[in-house]
Structure 1
Amino acid sequence: MHNPLPLSLLLTLLLSLAPLASAQFGFFEQMFGGGGGGQQQHQHQQQAHNVPSDSAIYRSNFDRMHCDNYLCPDTLACVHFPHHCPCPWPAHEDKFELAGEAGGSRICVSRGGFKPGEAARKVELARKGLL
C-alpha cells in the first residue's frame, strides 16, 4: 500500500502548477481571440503602430535636414548633384543616371523577377522611345 501525498505537499504542487495553466490558456486565448479583452488590446496596439496617412512625418524630417548641396527627396541623402542620390532600396533596385540640365537625375528600377541586365535593357528601350 502506498502513502497518499501530505496535504501541504499537494497544495504546494497545485499552486506551483497554476501559473503554468494560466499561461497556457492565456496563450490560446490570445491566439484565437477568446475573451474579447485581449482582442481589443491587440487592436489598440496595432493602431498605435500604424503611421498616419499624411506626409507630416516625412516633411518634418525633411525640414530638419541640413544640406549645402542637394537633398535627395526620397532618401534624404545630401549629395552634390541629383543624379548622385542613392536608391532607397539598393539591394532590390538598379540605379540609372539620366542626362539633363543641372547635372541630370536618376531613376531606380526594381530588379524583381528580372534576369540580370533586364532592367538596364528596358531603361535603354525607354530612352529610345521603343517601350
Structure 2
Amino acid sequence: MELLTILFLFLGILGTGVRAQFGFFDQMFGGGGHQQQQQHQNVRSDSQWYQAQYENAQCDKYLCPGTLSCVHFPHHCPCAWESVEDKYEIGDGIAICGSKGGYKEGEMARKVELARKGLL
C-alpha cells in the first residue's frame, strides 16, 4: 500500500511539472491566452502617406527624398540604414548607399570603383 501511495505521489508531482512545462510553452508561443495581442497596421501600398510626409517637412535647403533629412547638398544625405549601409560619393554631387554586407572598411568603395571601370 505504501509503494502505491509513493507511486501516485510521484505521478502527481510529475504531472504538475509537465503542466508547468507546457504552460510555459503556451505562454511563450501565445497559446496561454494571457498575452495581449498587439494589433499591427500595415503601411499603405500607395505613396500618399510618404507624399504627405514629404510635403509637410520643414526644410529651407535640400530635403533628402530617402530619409527626409534636411541638408545643404544632395550628396550630404545620410543613408536610410546607417548601421548596415555605407555611403559612397560617386562625384558630381551624387552619393549612393550600399549594404555593408559584412565587408571590411572601405570595401564598398572598392567595389564601386571596380564597377565603374567595368571590372565587376
What TM-score bracket applies, with the shorter chain setting the length?
0.5 to 0.7
Q: State the TM-score, normalized to the length of structure 2.
A: 0.64
One-letter amino acid of the structure 2 residue matched with residue 85 of structure 1: C
Q: Identify the match of residue 81 of structure 2 among 67, 89, 99.
A: 89
What is the deviation of 1:98?
1.8
| Counterpart check, 1:69 vs 2:58 | no
Tell me the distance in 2 between the aligned counterparts of 1:66 and 1:60. Answer: 12
For the pair 1:31 / 2:25, whether they are aligned, the reply is no
Alpha-carbon distance, 1:32 to partner? 3.6
Matched with 2:52 is 60
User: Could you say what the CA RMSD is over the residues aligned between the two structures, in angstroms?
Assistant: 2.6
- Are 1:114 and 2:103 an aligned pair? yes
Higher helix share: 1
Rounded to whole Å, the distance in 2 between the matches of 1:116 and 1:84 is: 20
Deviation at 1:127, TM superposition (A): 2.1
**Percent of residue pairs identical:** 58
CA contact (8 A) 1:96 1:106 kept: yes
Structure 2 Cα separation of the partners of residues 98 and 119 of structure 1: 12
Cα distance in 1, alignment partners of residues 58 and 97 from structure 2? 24
Which runs of 5 or more residues in structure 1 are unaligned? Answer: 1-23, 35-41
One-letter amino acid of the structure 2 residue matched with residue 125 of structure 1? L
- Which residue matches 1:15? none
The amino acid that maps onto 1:31 is G
Amino acid in the other structure paired with 1:114: Y
The aligned amino acid for 2:94 is S
- Structure 2: runs of 5 or more not aligned: 1-22
Shift of 1:121: 1.2
Residue 30 of structure 2 aligns to a residue in which SS?
helix
Q: 1:105 aligns with which of 86, 94, 97?
A: 94
CA shift for structure 1 position 57? 1.2
Counterpart contact for 1:83–1:98, Cα < 8 Å:
no
Task: Please tell me the residue identity of whatever aligns with 2:115.
Answer: A
